[in-house]
Structure 1
Amino acid sequence: MLEAKGITKKYGSLQVLKGIDLSIQKKEVVSIVGASGAGKSTLLHIIGTLDKPDTGTVSLNGQNLVQLQGNSLAQFRNKHIGFIFQFHNLLPEFTALENVCIPGYLGKYDPKKVEARAKELLNLLGLKDRYDHQPARMSGGEQQRTAVARALINSPTIIFADEPSGNLDSRNAEELHHLFFRLRDELDQTFVIVTHNEELATMADRKVEMKDGRISL
């Protein structure tokens, strides 16, 4: 489904990625692990279209992502890619329901359908009583589950998560980890997760280890 070939990336004189080949299949949960500075987040940002490689190609269901630019890239990302970050990045002035709806509104989908879908997802994630709560009135785990709902709102082809449980206590982290697999099973969702959490990495269908800008075989 997703294919990355020959990915390199340099920042100044620092060669961060040194030729990465990676393939992701539909409904896979893949963890990317490695020491700090190994290039994990850089790789995630490139295959998630948040950054461009110096060389190499990234394709999703046959679409060359490296060639997309401007509005075409923004529209493709909004429709096909979801993101979950360590710090949930919810907008503090909006409610949980509004935060989840935002990508749908940006994608110019029917507002009534977007809101109905957002409620379905919040219900699925155990947040039925939090529609009208702003982030400050929710626990860390509730905020992160709201961020997961936001990533799912446009039914993306793939979701990229960068240290999604890194800011959670052990109980909420464990719940979030199991949630990813439930969403894979119930919604046929695909996840690529950068993590330092060994439990989550081991739970994944496949663990990819990076070392010094390369995938360690």
Structure 2
Amino acid sequence: MLKAEGLKKSYGTLQVLKGIDLQVNKGEIVAIVGASGAGKSTLLHLLGTLDKPDSGQLLMNNENVFVKNAADLARFRNNAIGFVFQFHNLLPEFSALENVMMPGFIGGKAEPDLKKRANELLKILGLSQRAEHKPSEMSGGEQQRTAVARALINAPSIILADEPSGNLDSKTALELHQLFFKLRKELDQTFIIVTHNAELAGMADRKIELADGLVKL
């Protein structure tokens, strides 16, 4: 489903990634681990097409994504990839429902269909009673679950999560981790998760450890 071959990335004279090869299959939950500075977030940005590698290629559903022009790549990213970050990045002036719908609006989808799907996702995530609440009226865990629903709204091929529980207490973090497995079971969703959380990494189907810009064998 996703295959990275020889990804390299430098910033100035600092070589962060030195040739990353990895493959993720549909329905897998894969954890990317490693010490700070190992290149985890840089790799996630490349896998999410938020940045381009200096060399190497990324295939998603057998499509070489980095040959696309900027506009086509942005459309591809919006439709095929969902993102969950450590800080939920919800828009404070909008309700949970409106935040969840936002990537669909960007993708030009019809509002009635979007609203129906957003409400379905909020129900799956136990947030039906929070649909009209703004982020400031929700707990940290509720905000992060709203961010997960937003990541799912366009039915992406894969969800990329960067320290998704890093800003949550241990109980709420465990609930979020369990939610990922529920979504895999119910929606056949694929996840790549960068985490320092040993418990979450241990729950994943596979762990990929980065060290000094390479996959540690």
Whether these two folds match at TM > 0.5 is: yes
Name the counterpart of 2:195.
Answer: 195
Name the counterpart of 1:103.
Answer: 103
One-letter amino acid of the counterpart of residue 57, structure 1: Q
- Structure 1 residue runs of 4+, over 2 Å off? none
Name the counterpart of 2:42.
Answer: 42
Give the Cα–Cα distance (whole angstroms) in 2 for the partners of residues 21 and 80 of structure 1: 21
Give the Cα–Cα distance (whole angstroms) in 2 for the partners of residues 82 and 69 of structure 1: 20
Name the counterpart of 1:12.
Answer: 12
Q: How many residues are paired up?
A: 217
Name the counterpart of 1:72.
Answer: 72
Tell me the alpha carbon deviations over residues 154-174 of structure 1, each in whole angstroms, 9 at most, x when there is no partner. Answer: 100001000000000001100
Give the Cα–Cα distance (whole angstroms) in 1 for the partners of residues 150 and 109 of structure 2: 14
Name the counterpart of 1:113.
Answer: 113
SS of 2:66's equivalent?
coil
Name the counterpart of 2:146.
Answer: 146
Name the counterpart of 1:174.
Answer: 174
One-letter amino acid of the counterpart of residue 148, structure 1: V
Give the Cα–Cα distance (whole angstroms) in 2 for the partners of residues 166 and 61 of structure 1: 30
Unaligned runs of 5+ in 2: none
Give the Cα–Cα distance (whole angstroms) in 2 for the partners of residues 36 and 9 of structure 1: 16
SS of 1:115's equivalent?
helix
Counting only pairs closer than 5 Å after superposition, residues 81-96 of structure 1 correspond to structure 2 as 81-96=81-96
TM-score, structure 1 normalization: 0.99
SS of 2:67's equivalent?
coil
SS of 1:37's equivalent?
coil
One-letter amino acid of the counterpart of residue 3, structure 1: K
Between the aligned residues of both structures, percent identity stands at 65
Question: Superposition RMSD on alpha carbons, in Å?
Answer: 0.5
Give the Cα–Cα distance (whole angstroms) in 2 for the partners of residues 156 and 116 of structure 1: 17
SS of 2:77's equivalent?
helix
SS of 1:9's equivalent?
strand
Give how far 1:69 is off: 2.5
Counting only pairs closer than 5 Å after superposition, residues 120-159 of structure 1 correspond to structure 2 as 120-159=120-159
One-letter amino acid of the counterpart of residue 161, structure 1: A
